[in-house]
Structure 1
Amino acid sequence: MNKQVAVILSGCGTEDGSEAREVILTLLGLDQRGIGYRCFAPDGDQPRVVDHRSGEAYDATRNVLREAARLGGRETLDLAALDPDDVDGVVIPGGVGVIHTLSDFATAGTEMSVLPQLRDALVPFHERGKPFGLMGYAPLLVPRLLGEGIAVTVGQNAELAGAISSMGGLHKSCAVNEVAIDREHRVVSTPAFLLAGGPAEASTGIFKLIDRLAEML
């Protein structure tokens, strides 16, 4: 039976949800390697909605799960339905939704907390030793979600790297085509669009992440 991965989304669009290009490259990479996937997102309103042309926030109500389905399709499921017995690993693409919806890092900084639904859904995976792949902003979740002392990368961003260290994580500086691997904790991460200038450049690290994740499934 083919391995299955849960892809955790935080909406649709890099300014207030999941980074769409990272999601598409992730799904492509998984499919090319014969790894099945299911997309999940929390069912609730986004704390922030942004006009992606102007970059300005505006007053509107958007449901995270409905927005995520623009990327994951009609099969996108409520995060509350995620069962660690059904899938073999987890991938979390980046995007500003990671720091506004899946956590409050954007407003709380290193005093951040993780969305309770995310913690409830994903901690059992970590406790069972199932692997995680994280890209873009997603590695910022690790110290609060999976625990301290886990090595991750946000590329070469000194401010974000410092935040990870302040929360008890370990940061490894990486180029866009590289991954940070913590084999003990079964976590792989890559900078993706924190560094990439376009999809082709981002794909080098994302596909490498998927290859390393596949070895752990």
Structure 2
Amino acid sequence: MTAQPRFAVILSGCGVYDGTEIHESVLTLLAIDRLGGLYRCYAPDRPQLHVVNHLTGAVAAGETRNVLVESARIARGAITDLAQFDPAECDALILPGGFGAAKNLCGFALDGAECAVDPATERAVRLMLAAGKPIGALCIAPALLARIVGDRAELTIGNDSGTAAAIDKMGAHHLVAGPGEVVIDTAHKIATSPCYMLDSSIKTIAAGAENTVRALLTMMGR
């Protein structure tokens, strides 16, 4: 284990409605840095489900964007194709939220509990589970963990009853959590926090991201 804990951060585009939630991703990177860690960003090299005009909230008909290329905006260009993910190169994995997690990393936004998961994303999560390394997820991202892990894994997206029911249907177990709170599943080494699944301020998002990173560090034995 290196002197500094290493975090792999999976992004899903750039922008809450069709990609990664920017506040959640940046505050996660900040928390990792402030708590003495190193991070490396990843994203799948694939088209987005669609492009959303973030000023109007409408789908931009005819526009196409690539998840990896858009995620590079957040990572300032320092990003790796998720297909190249190697669990030996990190100590923990974390997935910020935003609709991209439910549209580009999996199909939860359209298909709910019957969703498929992006193959590169599923591979990365399964490799971390097999290696016994901790995984964190914010906002709606725990839904894709429910689809992959099942096994009564304890997760939270806050208190939305419909999403909670879908998580339970996928074989996981949803627990209600408030702003900034983290649900920790010690058996599966998973930490989740609701972030913008609740009506939250940016300082609460910062607390949720930092508390999740702290939980991952604890599960690393740091």
User: For the superposition of Structure 1 and Structure 2, which TM-score range results when normalised by the shorter chain?
Assistant: over 0.9
Give 1:198 deviation, angstroms. Answer: 2.1
Cα deviation 1:115-169 (Å, max 9, x = unaligned):
1111122211111110001000000011222232100000011111011011111
Partners of 1:97 and 1:199 lie apart in 2 by 19
Aligned to 1:141: 144
Maintained 8 Å contact 1:196/1:202 = no
Aligned to 2:216: 213
Partners of 1:107 and 1:22 lie apart in 2 by 22
Q: What is the correspondence of 1:96-135 to structure 2 with a 5 Å cutoff? A: 96-135=99-138
Maintained 8 Å contact 2:105/2:118 = yes
TM-score (norm 1): 0.97
Q: What is the correspondence of 1:17-166 to structure 2 with a 5 Å cutoff? A: 17-58=19-60, 59-166=62-169
Give the alignment partner of residue 207 of structure 2, picking from 189, 204, 208: 204
Maintained 8 Å contact 1:89/1:130 = yes
Aligned to 2:187: 184
Partners of 2:208 and 2:120 lie apart in 1 by 28
Maintained 8 Å contact 2:179/2:200 = no
Partners of 1:38 and 1:156 lie apart in 2 by 31
Partners of 1:169 and 1:128 lie apart in 2 by 20
Partners of 2:198 and 2:205 lie apart in 1 by 8
- 1:57 partner SS: coil
Maintained 8 Å contact 1:152/1:182 = yes
- 2:7 partner SS: strand
Aligned to 2:5: 3
Cα deviation 1:73-128 (Å, max 9, x = unaligned):
22111001110111011000000001111001111111111111111222111111
Maintained 8 Å contact 2:51/2:63 = yes
Partners of 1:68 and 1:134 lie apart in 2 by 17
Percentage of pairs with the same residue = 38
Maintained 8 Å contact 1:10/1:18 = yes
Aligned to 2:16: 14
Q: What is the total number of aligned residue pairs between the two structures?
A: 217
Give 1:196 deviation, angstroms. Answer: 4.1
Maintained 8 Å contact 1:2/1:35 = yes
5+ residue gaps in structure 1? none
Partners of 1:50 and 1:138 lie apart in 2 by 19
TM-score (norm 2): 0.95
- 1:193 partner SS: helix
5+ residue gaps in structure 2? none
